[in-house]
Structure 1
Amino acid sequence: MEQSGEIYEELMLQVEGLSGEIAQQLRAEVTRGRLVRGFELSARERRLRDQRITDTESARIGRADVAVIEYDGDQRLRLLCEALVTAARTMAASRRALIGLLELTDLSGNQIVFADEDDPSPRVLNIGVQAREAEWRRGIVEQELAPLQQELSSWL
């Protein structure tokens, strides 16, 4: 995809604005690169790696060896989309599971109160509201990223 690098950076800026920790984890994953066995390297990746090895006077990669290869723009974008969809689905599923747990233990209502001896104002979390919000957000994330994911899949 032609503009995948720009789209990736634009989305990452939005993720950083919402959750710096998630953005940091995603950037770390992209920086690490992907592990590829020697026989799985494309001709282009093999040439690039061979050139780097020649430059550093290292041994060539064997068919059974593993190499670390940088993600290209499409792969970074695909990884980001998958991470965002997975996070949204996980948030919704965890709230559904919590509601199920509350129902299973016969605790009345969908509220959890977080209290601290040192804090006079406890925090009340309405799991029902949280679950509906998480489902709504999951739907938005999936809907917004679906065209992009479809386009990325067509490039495989």
Structure 2
Amino acid sequence: MSFDSDQYTHIMERLKEAELGDLASQLDQEVRQGRAVPEEKLKQEQQSQYEARASRLAETKLQRLGESDVAVIPYTGDESIELIRGALLTLAETMYASRKAALDTAVAHEMHPTIEFGDPDLETPSYIDLEEETVQARVALELVRELLSEGIDTQAEAIR
């Protein structure tokens, strides 16, 4: 898969439209911050960036790079898209797994699968139906897997 900046922008816009603006902001911040890479790995895999960094340090008369130092390098376009894809898949898997675990616990303890929040004497309580929530999360997980299936190696089959 090759990176297309329009693709990145489109994904971020879709997240915001789906009321996932906080998630979009977090992912965008992560992409802008770049990733930490040990100098030794930078030297091996990103020779040009390593040399440019070493040159800038030499020009400013700073200490040479050591093998235990860490550099922050920008994500490549493909890495940015994979970061987003991985985060969305993890979010969907976690949503489903947490709801399924709560439902399984309620069933195992012979509890009603509807949870009530609030004090009925003071307010109208809110309800969450764990069965309904689990089904919706399962559908969302399957949809995310389907949408992101190209190029993703999922280990989540065990969740089913």
User: TM-score range, shorter-chain basis?
Assistant: 0.7 to 0.9
- Contact 2:3–2:81 at 8 Å: present in 1 too? no
SS of equivalent to 2:40: helix
Amino acid corresponding to residue 111 of structure 1 in structure 2:
T
Task: Choose from 82, 88, 93 the match for 2:92.
Answer: 88
User: How many angstroms apart in 1 are the aligned matches of 2:121 and 2:65?
Assistant: 60
Distance 1:56 1:6, change over 3 A: farther
**Are 2:139 and 1:125 aligned?**
no
Task: Note the C-alpha offset of 1:46.
Answer: 1.3
Q: Which is bigger in relative contact order (C-alpha 8 A, separation at least 6)?
A: 1
**Are 2:136 and 1:140 aligned?**
no
Amino acid corresponding to residue 3 of structure 2 in structure 1:
Q
User: How many angstroms apart in 1 are the aligned matches of 2:12 and 2:121?
Assistant: 37
TM-score where L is the length of structure 1: 0.82
Deviations 1:96-140 (A, max 9, x none): 0000121232212x2111124686322111111110110111011
TM-score where L is the length of structure 2: 0.80
Q: Which has the higher helix share?
A: 1
**Are 2:41 and 1:40 aligned?**
yes
Q: How many residues align?
A: 149
- Contact 2:38–2:70 at 8 Å: present in 1 too? yes
Q: Which has the higher strand share?
A: 1
Task: Choose from 60, 66, 73 the match for 1:69.
Answer: 73
User: How many angstroms apart in 2 are the aligned matches of 1:49 and 1:70?
Assistant: 13
Deviations 1:22-76 (A, max 9, x none): 1222122222221111110111321343354456554342222111111111111
Distance 1:116 1:83, change over 3 A: same
Amino acid corresponding to residue 125 of structure 2 in structure 1:
P
**Are 2:13 and 1:13 aligned?**
yes
Question: What value does the CA root-mean-square deviation take over the aligned residues?
Answer: 2.3
Unaligned runs of 5+ in 2: 154-160
User: How many angstroms apart in 2 are the aligned matches of 1:118 and 1:75?
Assistant: 53
User: How many angstroms apart in 2 are the aligned matches of 1:140 and 1:19?
Assistant: 16
Between 133-142 and 37-46, the greater mean CA deviation after superposition: 37-46
Amino acid corresponding to residue 91 of structure 2 in structure 1:
A
SS of equivalent to 1:14: helix
